[in-house]
Structure 1
Amino acid sequence: MIDPDALKKLRKALHNYVLLYVEENPALNAQASALFRNIFDVVHSAADAEEGLELFNRHRPAIVIADIKLPNLDGLKLAKSILAIDPATKIIFTSAHDEKSLLHEAIRLGAFDYVVKPITVQNIVDVLVRCAREMRMQMHQKLFNTYLQNIFNYQHNLILLLRHETVVMANQPCLDFFKAGSTEEFSQRFLNFGELLLEHSGFLYNHDKVEWLHEAKNHPGKLFNIKIADADGNSHHFVLNLQTIPDKEDYFILSLNDVSELNLLKLFDPSAVEREAVQKDKRAIRGLFEMAKRNNAKIKIHNLYKGLSITNDGMIGEIDENYVWIKTTIMQLKAMQLERRVVLVSDIFPMFIVSTDILKINFDQLSVKLGECKMTTTSPTRRQYIRVLPDEEAKVTLLYQGRKFETDMEIADISIKAIRLVMASLPAGFQTGSKVILDLVLGSPPFKPVIINTEADVFRIGEQSHQYEAVFTYDLHSRHHKDLIGYIAKRQMQLIREFKER
């Protein structure tokens, strides 16, 4: 008696494939075809080899089950013709006990297997189970080979094919790293890939807030830092890239690039080293550039032009102990030339990298040469609201403790939530948290001026070059809020045109 669960599993594995059954006995053909329809969605049957070959050419079934002795054209010649058309076809012969020489010839030709007559349900199911297993392995191999070239073409990367979280294929460097003799041995030792990921600050691993596969597959192509121990228990720093596979939503290709020799693990763990020392560590910063270059990682390059954010992709080029070349767009190079400062951001950097040491800009090669760089945890890229430098006609009046404060002041930038003023002096008793009244007049012809009167709080005060810089925050209501949004939008367009004309 056949196990219903086994039949159900077999149908799940094979129902999407097409079967061709060739048998000259009408009763056996009808009876076996009925069984096969419980396993395959589509079954074509033929009474002889000529009809079978015609059906094969028309429907290209993945599996063919045929009697080895057929009228007119025998089963061996049918197999030769089919395999010449599609060598991947699985051919299963049925035969009598006294046809062993024919069966040996069939196997030599490339037939998958044979079933001895009289055919039993158990015998045919056993053969189909083996057939399904081999077809699944061949599909994994095909997927693995097809998409391997699309990941990274580095010889020593660990490359894995996952189905859900189970490793179904792994390249030799991966097996060597874990000292596994085969993919099967690897899969038995590690039931899912997630259990290999070790906890490390800023890295991808399973914890209360993040499930690694969900995070990675929802950001295909993004690079993630991970930590994994080798077979000897030594921790390694890898950069992981997960690729999804079209039409195979449960399958993923992983590429793991070992960057342990760059000694970057300490950068991601604040407890491992003093933050200030890390920020000034030239070797560590060069190591980050090397990691980005080795993984072909895109970096985001940020500049500001009068508060307007200019952002484009970049790629790391030549790296030396004292400089790094970065390729980017001509617009970004223009922005660097004007600002003389640049902020670099990447998924695989633990912090932002900032440089004011712009050694050379080569517009012909679309590249910039940066000297000294440092890391920072603050960046304009984290701004919640757009800030712009207002027009030259913009004016501001400050009232503190009911009186107008007379001093030279100008607006450094403004957003819908805050304004930054540069002031020659400060009122007596002026401090963080103080309440003020601001009167603003923004806009120049041909635009109608925007007039805003609002209460504001002193958010931050700083001193530089014999001047003071104060940031004020406010909550504008209805009309003032709408007017300021409109002004900032128009000012952005002015700055974009101005920047492009430079």
Structure 2
Amino acid sequence: MQFVKDLFAIENQEFKLLFVEDNIVNREYILEILKHKFPNIITAENGEQGLELFSKHRPDLVITDIRMPALDGISMAEKLKEIDPELPIIIVSAFGDREELMKSIRTGITRFILKPVNNKELLAIVEELINLIRLRRKVKLQQQFIETILNSQKVITILTDGHELLGANHAALSFVGFDSLANLREKHKRYCDFFLDGDDCLASNEDWLSLLKNMPNQ
């Protein structure tokens, strides 16, 4: 099955890192730490070069210094986040400046590491973020698989946990007049918005899953 093959591919995928550091000594030192466990690493000497290499290679994770010529690390990170809001970015800095830390948080920096870099800490953080990337991709793949199954059904099919809308196939979306699940969720948070109260209908505030379980001989 293609779904299983795709899951296996994600599990065994080799991830690509971009490391941006203007100081050659620091760059070679950290590169030496990383390359034994993460061989697919691209290096850049400043933020501008980092942006160019990101556009060219689309790495999965970025590690960058803050203070660099041409374009500093935080400014580069802001531009990268515009391209890919979910991109994990690690800031490595020799300065514990509070303003830099707050700006990093506002930018959406994933982690902040102070120099001198602790080898084990750096490797553990990179490994943690790669596992997070892998998990996100698996979840996305599973969602696509569920959507494929739902859309293969010609009957109106809605997926719910009993309260919120989790999924709906093309037939259901067409029936209620929406072109996407995102637009449907934006206007209707609960599945019961589509059901009428009546003698033969469930009231909108009833837990229909519990009712079904408790119905005798059903």
Is contact 2:96-2:114 (8 Å) kept? no
Note the C-alpha offset of 1:90: 1.1
- Structure 2 gaps, min length 5: 1-9, 152-156, 163-209
1:23 and 1:13 map into 2 onto residues whose CA distance is 29
Aligned partner (choices 19, 22, 27) of residue 20 of structure 2: 22
> Does the CA-based 8 Å contact 1:15-1:40 persist in structure 2?
no
RMSD of aligned Cα (Å):
3.3
Q: Report what 2:54 is aligned to.
A: 56
Determine what percentage of the aligned residue pairs are the same residue: 28
Offset, 1:71 = 1.4
Aligned match for 2:99, one of 101, 112, 117 = 101
Distance 1:103 1:13 in 2: 33
Equivalent of 2:65 in 64, 67, 83: 67
- Contiguous gaps of at least 5 residues in structure 1: 1-11, 158-171, 174-231, 236-259, 264-502
Seen in structure 2, the aligned counterparts of structure 1 residues 125 and 63 have a Cα distance that, compared at 3 Å, is same
Can you list the C-alpha shifts for 1:14-52, whole angstroms capped at 9, x where unaligned? Answer: 861110001111112112112222222311111111111
State the structure with more CA Rg.
Answer: 1
Higher RCO (CA-CA < 8 Å; seq separation 6+) = 2
Contact 1:94-1:114 at 8 Å conserved across structures = yes
Aligned to 1:155: 158
CA distance in 1, matches of 2:103, 2:121: 21
Contact 1:19/1:43 (CA < 8 Å) preserved in 2? yes
SS at match of 2:103: helix
Question: What secondary structure, in the 3-state scheme, does the structure 1 residue paired with 2:17 have?
Answer: strand
TM-score normalised by the chain length of structure 2: 0.62
Pairs within 5 Å for 1:321-400: none
* Rounded Cα–Cα distance in structure 2 between residues aligned with 1:96 and 1:118: 7
Q: Deviations over 1:254-281 (max 9, x none)?
A: xxxxxx9996xxxxxxxxxxxxxxxxxx
Who is 1:188 aligned against?
A: none
**Which SS does the other structure have where 1:149 is aligned?**
helix
Partner of 2:81: 83
CA 22–262 in structure 1, closer or farther in 2 if over 3 Å, else same: farther
Larger % of helix: which? 2
Q: Distance in 1 between matches of 2:123 and 2:41?
A: 16
Between the aligned partners of 1:110 and 1:136, the Cα distance in structure 2 is 19
Aligned length: 159
Work out the CA distance in 1 between the residues paired with 2:131 and 2:45.
Answer: 28
Higher relative strand content: 1
Give the one of 100, 120, 123 matched to 2:121: 123
Note if contact 1:68-1:75 (Cα within 8 Å) is conserved in structure 2: yes
- Indicate the residue corresponding to 1:36 in structure 2: 34
> Which residue number corresponds to residue 137 of structure 1?
135
* Number of the residue aligned with 2:204: none
